[in-house]
Structure 1
Amino acid sequence: MDTRQPDHSLSSADRALEAGILELLASRAATSSICPSDAARAVGGADWRGLMEAARQAARRLVEAGEVEVTQGGAVVDPASAKGPIRIRRAR
């Protein structure tokens, strides 16, 4: 259950990306991961590319909340310093 307080500085797209990440993960096997582009596509449709950095930021917020982990090459990494492709999975 999400116990975070709402951040009123977040845009509706930011909130939609966070929700999209969690929904995509919930619809997959517990061991599965997603790419930030999956959430960006779900929220942005044809204009998803412009949401890529926002999707990575949404993943960072969810990491801080303890809901997800960010990985590279299967290893958990700090999303603030991760460069290049990342994956998002449920927190273990």
Structure 2
Amino acid sequence: MSDPIEAAIFEKLAKADPKNVGGKSIEPADVAKELQPEQWQRMLPKVKATALGLMRQGKLTITKKGKVVDPNNFRGVIRLRLPTEAETAAALAALPPVESSDDDFD
């Protein structure tokens, strides 16, 4: 994991839910404060954007008031948590199909 924001998100989640039982969530602001304590407000949009990308990959779930948000349409205060197996499967099913090329480079 080369992205420091991504790493910080998963580190915070590991601390919040050390047994990986699920259901424990964190605030994006906590991640931003850990990365840049003095200017965390500037980091917050980057943390949210990274979380959104991770949600679309099925690696993270974004919730609002305990309910999973639509990744294409949400606003306001959110929380981050690890996804259930069903949420991961749904996110991966929503990804566009990978185009395969018939060209062989022999």
TM-score range, shorter chain: 0.7 to 0.9
Query: Which residue of structure 1 lines up, in the alignment, with residue 15 of structure 2?
Result: 27
- Name the counterpart of 1:89: 81
Task: Give 5+ residue unaligned stretches, structure 1.
Answer: 7-14
In 2: Cα distance, 1:82 partner to 1:47 partner: 24
Once the two structures are superposed, the pairs formed by residues 61-72 of structure 1 within 5 Å of their partners are: 61-72=53-64
The normalised TM-score by structure 1 is 0.79
- Percent identity reads 31
Contact 2:62–2:79 (CA under 8 A) maintained in structure 1? yes
- Structure 2: how far apart are the matches of 1:58 and 1:49? 15
Q: What is the alpha-carbon root mean square deviation over aligned residues?
A: 1.6
How many residue pairs get aligned? The number is 80
Structure 1 outlier segments of 4+, above 2 Å: none
Structure 2 unaligned regions, length at least 5? 85-106
Cα deviation for residue 37 of structure 1 reads 0.4
Cα–Cα, structure 1 residues 80 and 16, in superposed 2: closer, same or farther, change >3 Å? Answer: farther
Describe the shift of the 1:80–1:38 C-alpha distance in structure 2 as closer, same or farther (beyond 3 A).
Answer: farther
Bigger Rg, which one: 2
Deviation string, structure 1 residues 28-74 (Cα, Å, up to 9, x no partner): 12321011101101111211110111110010111122111000010
The answer to whether the aligner puts 1:42 opposite 2:30 as a matched pair is no
Task: Give, in whole Å, the separation in 1 of the partners of 2:6 and 2:66.
Answer: 21
Distance between the aligned counterparts of 1:78 and 1:41, measured in 2?
Answer: 25
Separation in structure 2 between the aligned mates of residue 47 and residue 36 of structure 1, nearest angstrom: 14
CA displacement at 1:17 relative to structure 2 = 1.2
- Name the aligned partner's letter for residue 60 of structure 2: V
Relative to structure 1, is the Cα distance of residues 80 and 54 closer, same or farther in structure 2, using a 3 angstrom cutoff? farther
